[in-house]
Structure 1
Amino acid sequence: MLLLAMIFLVPVVSAWGAETRLTWHGHAAFEIVTPGGAVVVIDPWLKNPVNPNAKEGKDPLAGFEKVDYILLTHGHFDHVGDAVALAKKTGARLVSNFELGSNMAKLHGFPKEQMGFDTLMNIGGEIQIAKGEVTVLMTPAVHSSGLGHPNAGAQEADIVYAGNPAGFLLVIKNGPTIYHTGDTAYFGDMALIGQHAPDVALINIGGHFGMSPAMAAKAAATVKAKLAIPHHFGTFPVLTQDPKAFVDALGKEKIPALVMKPGETVVFDGKKLKK
């Protein structure tokens, strides 16, 4: 009887004791460590000017000994960033659309063997990674997506097609559901993302290339986020938006906000932010 009791109790204990770690490395770069220990990095422009691990001659890749998956929302340099170097160092597999993945390999040297039909996808698609611990859904984004051509000839384009821009929904077993907007404008079909009611939404607020703080707060409400974290601000002269304006706008929507500092890590116990 004691053995049977232990068997039935183990899943309950593991679920309650599950922790997910979320680190913001500045701009749109986030690192997620799942309860099972899988490491997922989204849009790893780690050399961005607000990342404390990239200042004073530091190597921002030095702290990454293990990365299992790199997720790219689109092809712009401030999102692709250090994906190739990080992949070569850690062996991480690439999750992106097919066009971006193909050109990352052909033009930028991303290891071809670290991507495939198991990880390359498109908007509306759904895959499982980390041995099924994480379900990844690729969501629409209203933006553009082009990848720099480093060796373009005189008659060739400097920027090549990199598929459609996207966002990601990560549904983590025994952890939070996380929505990363990528770069996007507000769009009505965010209401469909709201069917997943993300526990945390990582939302671009910088304006100019995407949503203003006011529109970002509207997006948080539309996707029914339980917590909203701003990103994509303060790294370029034109991205001068103040996250306080986002927090104030969220207050009108009655949605909690968390303004993280670059390099900061927060922990979720199950689906709830650990205080």
Structure 2
Amino acid sequence: MRITWLGHSAFRVEFDDRAILIDPFLTGNPSFTGDRAAVSAGVSHILLTHGHGDHVGDTIDLARETGAVVVSNADLVTFLAGKGVAKVEPMNTGGTIDLGGFTVTMVRADHSASLIDNGISIAVGNANGLIVKAPGQPVLYHLGDTDIFSDMALIAELHEPKIGLVPIGDRFTMGPKSAALAVRRYLNLDVVMPCHYASFPGLEANADAFAAALEGHPTRVLAPRPGETVEVN
């Protein structure tokens, strides 16, 4: 599995002959300096953890340009369909859908969700984490935006994720110490990649404190630069 961090909480994930985007916030993302066309090349699906502008990002334009299917909670994809997104797959917390070659499960996250439309805040369902499973690939868990919660242990028991994309930025999500505690106490991961940091003022500027809090733990911390691709087997 090849994972490219695009800055903030945006990722491109490739496995087998698939390429998917998660929370593709590119325009306005101060950490993203790459080529948008290259990032979206061959993408078949766009997965969204929740409805905030820094996660929905370029979804509408990318879906139109690529023909990708947008997958998220029913409220959010209904809103996006009304904005012209042609292909959507609605789901909700606890549900799993088969997308042909891989499945996605929505799990709990502790956060809010809304989008601004013509100056009005519109509720677009709950915030979620995403579990991505594909045959022969390690199970991927994008936690979305969240605080630590003890039911992460149940998520780990049910889905056995081995790669975690974990927010550490503080202010809007858990900070480095809480995120590291979540990894230590609740998640039995092989690899963890921090996200939702080093993008905006008020967020953690780097992953140093997170990595230090996991020193000596068997989970391997990978903190690529924005635009860098890592391969995890």
TM-score range, shorter chain: over 0.9
Q: Could you list the per-position Cα deviations for residues 109-167 of structure 1 after superposition, in whole angstroms to 9, with x for gaps in the alignment?
A: 242x301xxx21000001111x2x21211010000000111x35xxxxx1101101001
User: What is the rounded CA distance, in whole Å, between the counterparts of 1:26 and 1:42 in structure 2?
Assistant: 11
8 Å CA contact retained: 1:169, 1:178: yes
Q: Which moved more, 1:232-241 or 1:180-189?
A: 232-241
Q: Could you list the per-position Cα deviations for residues 78-98 of structure 1 after superposition, in whole angstroms to 9, with x for gaps in the alignment?
A: 000000111001000011001
Amino acid at match of 2:139: T
TM superposition shift of 1:252: 4.7
Structure 2's unaligned 5+ residue stretches are none
Q: Which has the higher strand share?
A: 2
Identity of aligned residues (%): 40
Amino acid at match of 1:40: I
8 Å CA contact retained: 1:40, 1:69: yes
TM superposition shift of 1:259: 0.6
Aligned mate of 1:90, from 61, 66, 71:
66
8 Å CA contact retained: 2:12, 2:39: no
Aligned mate of 1:33, from 14, 26, 51:
14
Partner of 2:226: 262
Partner of 2:135: 173
Structure 1's unaligned 5+ residue stretches are 1-19, 54-58, 153-157
Amino acid at match of 1:204: P
Partner of 1:243: 207
TM-score, scaled to structure 2: 0.94
Partner of 2:26: 46
User: What is the rounded CA distance, in whole Å, between the counterparts of 1:255 and 1:223 in structure 2?
Assistant: 9
TM superposition shift of 1:40: 1.0
Cα 1:176–1:185 shift into 2, 3 Å: same
8 Å CA contact retained: 1:125, 1:137: yes
Aligned mate of 1:159, from 121, 124, 127:
121
Q: How does 1:206-225 map to 2 (within 5 A)?
A: 206-221=169-184, 222-225=186-189
Partner of 1:202: 165
Aligned residues: 230
8 Å CA contact retained: 2:199, 2:205: no
TM superposition shift of 1:197: 2.6
TM-score, scaled to structure 1: 0.80
Partner of 1:114: 87
Q: Could you list the per-position Cα deviations for residues 53-100 of structure 1 after superposition, in whole angstroms to 9, with x for gaps in the alignment?
A: 1xxxxx524542321110111111000000011100100001100101
8 Å CA contact retained: 1:200, 1:225: yes
- Max radius of gyration: which structure? 1
Q: Could you list the per-position Cα deviations for residues 179-208 of structure 1 after superposition, in whole angstroms to 9, with x for gaps in the alignment?
A: 001000001100011112311100000000
Match of 1:52, SS? coil
